Structure formats: C-alpha cells, structure tokens
Structure 1
Amino acid sequence: MLDEYDFSDGIRGRFYTSKKVPIFMQLDKDIVIFFKKQASEKKIAYQTLINNLLREYMQKS
C-alpha cells in the first residue's frame, strides 16, 4: 500500500449513482414538526425517517 495516492485526474462521482429520487411533496405543518422531532431524537434526518417508514409500510403491503 502506498503512503499517498494521486487523485488529481480522478472524476468525482464517476461510479456512483444515487438510488434516491428528489421529489417535492407538500405536507401539513404539524406532520413535518412531528417527524422532525422524532428524527431529532433518533439523530437522523427527518427525510430519512419518512423514507424508512414508507419502506416499512411498503414491505408490509
């Protein structure tokens, strides 16, 4: 293993493709507040929490 590697010719994100699709969704204010509070307690982003809950719901269906 080398002590240093030269990435000066590297291309950022070349082999990375996101599996997530950015969307715009309007939610009621109280729903957003609820999920932000829950996510804060779990130390995760509220979008991640909502995504996880939607995935769980999807798998149960």
Structure 2
Amino acid sequence: MLDKIAALLPTKLSFGKFAFSSLLNLFMIYIVIMKEEYDFSQSVKNPYIKKLKKQVTIRLEEDVVDYFKVLAEETGISYQSLINLYLQDCVRLQRKPSLEWMSNV
C-alpha cells in the first residue's frame, strides 16, 4: 500500500539544503525525529506576554475612523495600528481627554 502511495508522490523534494527522495521518506524521518513526549518542566514563561494585544470592540464616530484611514493611506500603516499608536502616545504622555461636550452642529 505504501509503495502505491509513494509512486504517486514527487520523486525528489528539496527543503533548503535538505533533499528527500519522496514525501513518504520525509514523513518517515519526521516520525523518527518526533518524540512521544516532551518535558516542559524547565520551560520559561513568555517574557513578552504583557506586550500582547487584547482584542476589544469599540464604537468610534465615523469622522474619527475616516481620519485614521486617510492617515493610513498616507503612511502605509493600518488605521487600527495608527489608532493604537496614538493611544499609546496618550498613555505615555498621560494625556487626559477633554471632557467638554461638543455639539454636532
């Protein structure tokens, strides 16, 4: 059965400096290298975990989104990243929002 499968596969595969006679050969090498169990008792916690982004849902006014989308086209940076950069800047500078209500006139 394996011979029939092997006959259908490419005769030579290359991955960087490694070449394999068939996909079956590559798979068999993978099985030999793969351990049945791994010991994570000495593993280290990810030091960048605090830097990971948290997904949130936020409602923004259309003109705010439009402003950042135009800026995104000018800079080549996604508008979501630009909003995040702006908010990071506010946090770093301890900038407080203006709490005065603006009329939509």
Instruction: Give the TM-score taking structure 2 as reference length.
Output: 0.43
- What residue number does 2:17 align with? 3
Give the drift of 1:51. 0.4
Q: Which has the larger radius of gyration?
A: 2
CA distance in 2, matches of 1:42, 1:36: 10
Across the aligned residues of Structure 1 and Structure 2, the Cα RMSD in angstroms comes to 2.6
Distance 1:45 1:27 in 2: 16
SS of residue in 1 equivalent to 2:90: helix
> Which residue of structure 2 lines up, in the alignment, with residue 51 of structure 1?
84
Tell me, which stretches of 5 or more residues in structure 1 are unaligned? Answer: 10-14
Rounded to whole Å, the distance in 2 between the matches of 1:57 and 1:27 is 17
User: How do 1:16-55 residues align onto structure 2 when only pairs under 5 Å count?
Assistant: 19-55=52-88
Matched length: 52
Give aligned-pair identity as a percent.
29
With normalisation by structure 1, the TM-score equals: 0.70
- State how far apart, in whole Å, the 2-side matches of 1:22 and 1:43 are: 22
